[in-house]
Every structure is written in C-alpha cells, then in structure tokens.
Structure 1
Amino acid sequence: MNSEQLSPAVIVTGGAGFIGCALSPGLLERGLPVIAIDSLLEQVHPGQQRPEALPAEVELVHADVTDAAAWDALLQRVRPELVIHLAAETGTGQSLTESTRHAMSNVVGTTTMLDAFVRHDVLPKHVVLTSSRAVYGEGAWTDASGTDFNPPPRSHAQLERGEWDHQGPDGTTAVARPTDAATTRPNPASVYGSTKLTQELILRNWADAFSVPVSVLRLQNVYGPGQSPHNPYTGIVTLFHRLASRGETLDVYEDGLIGRDFVHIDDVVSALHACIERPPAVEENRTLDVGTGTVTTILDAARMIAKTYGAPEPQISGKFRDGDVRHAVADVTRTRADLGWEPRWSFEDGSADLSTWLGKGGFLG
C-alpha cells in the first residue's frame, strides 16, 4: 500500500505511562486516531493491565519499542503524522545496575522506531522527544570569584566523605546555576542520563538527514496525579507522601539541601501541547527546558509533606545515591518565549493535589 493511502495517526510511545495518559485527552481533540505503544512494564503496571487513566478512544498496542515486527505491523496500516516519543526506562539509580535494560529501551528502542519509519517510507511531520534534566549532570556552577565552570559528576569517594557541594577552581564553595539547553553543556552523571542524551543525538542526526522537524523537551522532576504508586523507582514526591501517610519518618539524603525543580504533570502536559501547536520549521531541531524555574530542597519538600499527614519531623541521614546530582533547576525563559507557555503550579499546591489523588485512590496509609 502506498504510504499516502495509509490512515494518518498520532503515535505515542510509552503512551500508557504517567505522561502519556495525561497527554492523550488533548491529543484526541486534534481529530486524528491516537495510538499508544507500550510494553506495560510490570514495575509500573501491575498485572500488565491497561491503565484506567488511558482514554478508551486511544488504541493501545501492547509491544516493546525495540520490537521491529510490532512496528512493521503498525506501519502497514497507519501513517504517523505526529510522534510523541515518551518510552524510556527512567530509574537513575537503577540504571547503574541495569545498564543494558536502559540502553535497550532508550537507545535501541529509538533506533528501531526510526528505522521502521524509513523502512515503510512514513516520515512524521513532527517528532517530539521528552528528554531529561539528567543529561546536564551537575550542570554549570559559579565560584566566589564569579568564575563559571562545569564540574564532573560527584565520585563515590567524594560522596562518602560528605563533600556534597562542588568547589570552584579557587577552592571556594560554588553556587549552581539554572540549566538552559542553549548554554549549559550536557555532562550526564548517570547511565540513565547518558542514554537520554544519546536519544537526543540519534534523533537529531536522523532528523537532519531526513528533514523531519524535531522538538526535544528536557523535563525536570515530574510529579502529580497519575504517577505510578506501585513503582519502587517512582518519583521521590509520591514516595514521601505514601511513607508520611503511614506516620513514618522520612529519610532525607545527604544534608537535605539537594535542590530540585519539581514540575507538576499539568504543566508538563501544557508544555507538550504548546510544543505541538507551535512546531519548529522544517529541518529545525529545537531543545527546550521544562520546569518551574524554582528550587525546592529535598528537606523542604519532606517537611511540607510530613506536615500534611502529621508525620514526624524528617531526619537527615547523610545517605547518598551514586549518580544523583546536587542541584537541578531549569531556566525556562526561552521555553516561555518560544511556546507561549507558563508553568502554573507551585510545589505546595501540587503536593496537595497529589495527596488528594492518592487518598481517593486508596494509596495512602
């Protein structure tokens, strides 16, 4: 069948996941069939059941993105107008011990998809990749003299000594700077971050060769209603809520001053829709950051969540996790300008929203 005779569709890889389920209702409003490809990983989807949050109108293809035969079967009947590439293994710590699993899903899954598009001569009009702030690693820092530098990932020995912050070339404690895709040099500190950066590079090389517009959105720490409460590697915010609701004392790593930019799922979905509505020009590859632009320390987040449930005061343990970065916050100035987008949720309001959802679902206590 000629590719022009195929039915046009929106394809969402990892479409049954947290972001995919939240994004799909808006995609359906575009008037094209929406097809979600998802392996329904047991770690995220107990029993590998279709999630209730995925709209019934979305066709779910239960397949791994690395399965070339599954792509062949799909692309024999549909032509992808728009591709939202969400499928990825996301565990920072887990990626250090299951590197092959992360590389297969994130890297080989991407190349398998792209090869299928070429094989069937069905090039999308726009590909959107959700990447991660993990590609930056420690990002850029500034020392007391005003000198900017890019520190290497913190070593295991450094963390064992409790040397949490970076020192500048002059030996003084440095201050982290917000990350901006236009100016911050990627330098991943984890296998996960390395696979996400590889995804970006592969997609950029491919898109340049085939003149396919590409948008890369580097997401900060996403949280909110719909995030799997079953996944032991899920976000720290959901985990803290579940533990605090049982009256447990929250264990805060390092000295509690790890900085994160927690961005609510609604803000991520609105950024994705804005990105779709304002596609880049042909042959243009754009990379933008999605976050709130506001830092919340892990200790402040833990205290806020503990207070919600009347749980004990969080305790700083000095534990650490290899591959974690000290500080992460996005500079979303360009994203605001390019997409006409604005983050709406404060962490306080978003945390309360998540608590309500977890309570209604019976996931607390």
Structure 2
Amino acid sequence: MENNTIVVTGGAGFVGSHLIAALARDYPRSRIVSVDNYFTGRRDVHVDAPNVTYLEDSTANINKRWANESFGTPDIVFHLGEYARIPQSFDEPDRVWEYNAWGTKEVVKFCLDNGARLVYAGSSSKFGNDGQDEHLNPYAWTKAKNGELIRNYGNWYGLDYVITYFYNVYGPGQIEDGRYATAIGIFQRQYRDGEPLTIVEPGTQSRDFTHIDDTVAGLLRCAEHGKGDGYLIGAGREWQMLEVAKLFGCEHVMIPAKPGERARGEADNSKVRALGWEPKVALEDYVADFVASARRG
C-alpha cells in the first residue's frame, strides 16, 4: 500500500483513528484521506501527520465531494464509516438507512468508478443463530445486505474487494459514555467512578472481545493479502458478560434486556490466521492492567 492514495471512511472513529495511525506510520509515502461525518467521530483523535487529511462529510456524498478535491485517483478504500450499534438502531432507522444503505452504495460506486480496492468492515452479527440473527435489528440487516451488494458487484462488475468482520473491539480510545458506548468502555468508566457494573440480562450472552491493536493488524493483513468474503477478525474466544464483569472484581447489577441482541458471538478466525495474523492481546490481561492502573490512581 506504499505510494498509494488511501481513503478511510469513519477515520475519526474508534477503529478508524487507530487504522489511520497505523497507516501513517507504516506507509509514510502514501496519502491518507479520512471521510467522516463526526456522528460518533472525534476531532481529538486526529492523527497529526503530513500525509493525513480529514474531510467532514457523509459517505453518501463521497463521489461529489471527491470530485471537488485534488487528491487524484484513490487506490484503496477502507469503509468503516457506518452506523454501528444494535439496540439504538431500532430508534434511528432513518439514520441507519442513510449511513449503512445509501452511504455504502455510494462508497461501492466510488470504488468501482475509480478502480479502487474496497476493504469493508462487515458485522459479525450476521453469523449468529445459523445466519438468522441478521434479521434481529435494523443494524444487522443493513450490514448483511451491504455484504450481498458488495459480493454482487464483484460478480457483476469485477469490483475488487475483501470483507472483514469485527468482534466487539475494545481498547484505548473506545467510547465510554452515552448511548453509543462499548461494553468494555462502560465497565471501565463505571469501575473508575466506583459504580457497580451494569450487566444486561440474562448475563449469559457471550461475546468475542478483540483488542483494537489486533483488529487493526488483522484489517491491514486482509487489505494486503485477502480476497473476497469471510475474514472474521476476532480473538476466537467466547466470554459471557457475567464472566467479563468478574474480571473487574467489583459489584455488578443486572439491567433489563435490550431488543435485538444476539445470544452468542465467537469468531472462526481461521481465514485471517491463514494470512499470517494472530491475536496478541488477551482480554483478561487487558482488564488486569486496567484495574491495576486504576487502583494506582
């Protein structure tokens, strides 16, 4: 990816900002352009590097916006800039449609028109319950349909693509407050504030938690060597939410179940491992380091 023009949608988000930092470090002769509408993105995570540029705009406008810029032809597009929360998607279906359906359609067209390689961040929610979980909520459904769109464009028009899937990414920079906060982010904030950890009922639902560094490393590996669909970037271990709370060693309380949540989540990461990737950060080690640091103040 050296000497390329690389676009990252959602580049001011949690995963996107870490990805841009890695790209700026590893490919200093490439031009990196972030396109983010700052719905959940933040300006304080911008990467201060001479080869990084930030554009504030919706992915739905990417084709028009790019035509008014002077970046040249894009070579690779990391498409991370979508709506990415399950329970909240029931309350904001129009926003989910705009960001995940319309926006992604425009990104796919952008890649096809420019001959750019598309690296898409799909949703692991589609794999639960023998594939039936993609119908549980507006978020999962639109993400699953985007995967279909991309695969079809590959077959119909020769789109060059690789589809990856994230599994409960956590680590520095994650959202800790508000309705878009991540599970580990919420637990960390509650622990620091001396509050009991809130666990969504029944607590036996499981997730595969994957550190942000491992996620970015897997994403780059797939971008460089992957082809087609099915790259699950997950640690490969199921954690029940009650088990995760116990790692923090403090009190917890149960809160009512949320709509659209799946029961299980665990990555079959064999396809990414075949590219030479291995997860390096274990959740229990990360939490132990966090707790020790919080106790030191």
Q: Decide: shared fold, TM above 0.5.
A: yes
- What does residue range 33-72 of structure 1 map to in structure 2 within 5 Å? 33-41=31-39, 43-45=40-42, 50-57=43-50, 58-67=52-61, 68-72=63-67
Which of 340, 357, 364 lines up with 2:276 in the alignment?
340
Identity of aligned residues (%): 28
Counterpart-to-counterpart distance in 2, 1:224 and 1:354: 10
Following superposition, the deviation at residue 100 of structure 1 comes to 1.1
Does residue 103 of structure 2 align to residue 109 of structure 1? yes
Going from structure 1 to structure 2, the CA distance change for 1:354 and 1:111 (only over 3 Å counts) comes to: farther
The corresponding residue for 2:114 is 122
Gaps in structure 1 of 5+ consecutive residues? 1-6, 141-149, 154-186, 360-364
> Which secondary structure does the structure 2 equivalent of 1:348 belong to?
helix
For 1:219-270, what per-residue CA distance to the aligned partner results, in whole angstroms no more than 9, with x for missing partners? 1111111113344312111011101221111222223211110111011011
Counterpart of 2:232 (choices 253, 267, 289) is 289
Q: Secondary structure at the match of 1:34?
A: strand
Instruction: Select 1:302's aligned residue among 229, 245, 258.
Output: 245
Structure 1 residues 188-267: aligned runs within 5 Å: 188-267=135-214
Q: Is the 2:10–2:41 Cα contact (8 Å) retained in structure 1?
A: no
Distance in 2 of aligned mates of 1:353 and 1:14: 29
Change (3 A) 1:251 1:109: same
Q: State the match for 2:15 in structure 1.
A: 19
What SS does structure 2 have at the residue aligned with 1:242? helix
Q: Distance in 2 between matches of 1:277 and 1:110?
A: 21
Q: Could you tell me the TM-score, scaled by structure 2's length?
A: 0.89
Conservation of the 8 A alpha-carbon contact between 1:292 and 1:343: yes
8 Å contact from structure 2 (residues 36, 57) kept in 1: yes
- SS at the partner of 1:304? helix
- Describe the SS at the equivalent of 1:90: coil
Alpha-carbon distance between aligned partners in 1 of 2:4 and 2:225, rounded to the nearest angstrom: 20
Cα deviation, 1:33-62, whole Å, max 9, x if unaligned, reads: 000111112x443xxxx2335233310011
Long gaps (5+) in structure 2: none
Q: Deviations over 1:169-193 (max 9, x none)?
A: xxxxxxxxxxxxxxxxxx3321111
1:134/1:188 contact within 8 Å kept: no
Whole-Å Cα distance in 1 between the matches of residues 87 and 288 of structure 2?
Answer: 27
Letter of the 2:258 counterpart: R
SS across alignment from 2:280: coil
**Larger helix proportion of the pair:** 2
Shift of 1:8: 4.8
Which amino acid is the alignment partner of residue 247 of structure 2?
A: M
CA distance in 2 between counterparts of 1:354 and 1:78 reads 43
Sort the Cα spacing of 1:301 and 1:230 in 2 relative to 1 into closer, same or farther, 3 A. Answer: same
Aligned mates of 1:56, 1:329 — CA distance in 2: 36
CA-based RMSD: 2.3
